[in-house]
Structure 1
């Protein structure tokens, strides 16, 4: 079978290292980004740049997306000059779209149904592992879509993922990512509470990972976020507004399915408070800044 030509829309903090892994694995990759400089930065690594998503769709077999939200996905795929701009039946080469963005499951199903009218399969494949996982090629991918589409793209995803799991039909990957984010956001909020308690009790919060190593509270998140909450000058790994978007989507899915999620509801209110405090652009560890408001009588 001839090597498939890949397209990638969205070479940002996550997308750029994923593209570099694809190139190192020997794939031919064409890239597009709304900000051309982000795509052009990958030319030195061997990528080719497309002027529009539609131009990319006419030159590639599989297109991977890693963009901000459902509106961005819809614009890249169906907007003016989008991958599938025009009427169904118009000629494009792309046969499958893999969406690494984190968007609502119901939006995913609607987009996949529209793509099917063009004869294009859809795999929703949100990722977990953050920028570090993208850089190391150790992402976890939870995927939804037809089994044939999933099987066709799995070897591609292996370039930057340590684990790729098929969770069911279209939308199942996005639902699994919501489960992931419910656990992650609640855990990071709990870590911030623990750091705050340690500080106000007069102990060195930075030593929590050492003290709790090997116990039930030990985790990758604990080892990642305690340093980020107790040290200055670390490179951001994401913005609180992203967590807020995800938790708002969790709340919507909970309402649609009648699922009680009181912990996620509390995290949602904490993130809304952070946004009201001007912390929407703060690092994921910004939960600690929300909790570190002065006590009564403190300066």
Structure 2
């Protein structure tokens, strides 16, 4: 049996993939709605994370931050509070700090469990299709033990190094993705202002140097100003750029583009019609509303 904890935008489709691949799944989630939805598909609903750890052989986590992971894994009723641990390995698909990942791995090892930081890229569409990209940090043995779980949810797993290395690789990914999404929002608003049919923007740029998965996913949504269902929250990208900035300060690296992107994500909290829980495509409102305001000021 495979356990899964955290059934949010990414976790629910990942756990659903496990069921679709024929695995028995025991799951837990803080809010009952997603857990009930997964239960209807055939999963077993656990009373708490400890029950997951005491009944599953492998466990996946997909949570919002390393602070939440620490609580769910090591807090009261957490995974490692189980008196009879049957799980051999845990894959933490959450995005967090490398330092926290190393700390979690040490604590899990003390319990005889392999901990692999395994953050993912590809967004909700890849989670739904089982084609996520996984950056795995930990021991080769731990990564190998988690193969049945990885095979159900991922198109590719790269073992990038020891504990924490997966998280470093993921925030490198987020440096590119975060600035890319901002650039797409900026370009969409710019093109609309210049009189271009922005509905053709993503398809026109397809195959060229500007093409990217974020452009194909979020570009049409920005053009149509269609921001639901949510495929990626502003809050999470904002959190991830903060992780980049924190590590950059620690190692003495310059990240001016990430710094600029973070300022854009911060502005979402001041917008009257969007907030940090909005879809990433809603960032276009920051630029298009600013352009509208500029026109109004010029005509005054």
Q: TM-score, normalised by structure 2?
A: 0.92
Contact 1:154 1:164 in 2 (8 A): no
**Structure 2 residue ranges without an equivalent (≥5):** none
Cα RMSD for the two superposed structures: 1.6
How many residues are treated as equivalent by the alignment? 292
Match of 1:187 in 2: 180
Structure-2 separation of matches of 1:155 and 1:92: 19
1:75-95 CA distance string (max 9 Å, x none)? 111111111127xxx542222
Shift of 1:125: 0.6
Q: Stretches of 4+ moved more than 6 A in 1? A: none
Partner of 2:39: 43
Name the structure where helix makes up a greater proportion of residues: 2
**8 Å CA contact retained: 2:58, 2:149:** no
Q: Give the 3 Å change call, closer, same or farther, for CA 26–210 of structure 1 in structure 2.
A: closer
From 134, 137, 162, the counterpart of 1:144: 137
Partner of 2:102: 109
For structure 1, which runs of at least 5 residues remain unmatched after alignment?
none
Q: In the alignment, is residue 270 of structure 1 matched against residue 276 of structure 2?
A: no
Query: Is the contact between residue 31 and residue 49 of structure 1 (CA under 8 Å) also seen in structure 2?
Result: yes
**Higher alpha-carbon deviation: 124-133 or 216-225:** 216-225
Q: CA 1:222–1:298 in 2, change beyond 3 Å: closer, same or farther?
A: farther
Name the CA distance, whole Å, in 2 between partners of 1:262 and 1:145.
Answer: 30
CA distance in 2, matches of 1:130, 1:164: 15
SS in 1 for 2:186: helix
Structure 2: distance between partners of 1:273 and 1:202: 26
Deviation at 1:298?
5.8
Quick one: which of 237, 247, 270 aligns to 1:253?
A: 247
Aligned pairs for 1:1-299 within 5 A: 5-85=1-81, 91-233=84-226, 234-277=228-271, 279-292=275-288, 293=290, 294-295=293-294, 296-297=297-298
Q: Is the 8 A contact 2:238 2:262 kept in 1?
A: yes
Deviations 1:185-228 (A, max 9, x none): 11111111111211221222222123223321122222222211
Q: Say whether the 8 Å CA contact 2:119–2:134 is kept in structure 1.
A: yes
Separation in 1, partners of 2:148, 2:157: 10
Separation of aligned partners in 1, 2:209 and 2:37: 43
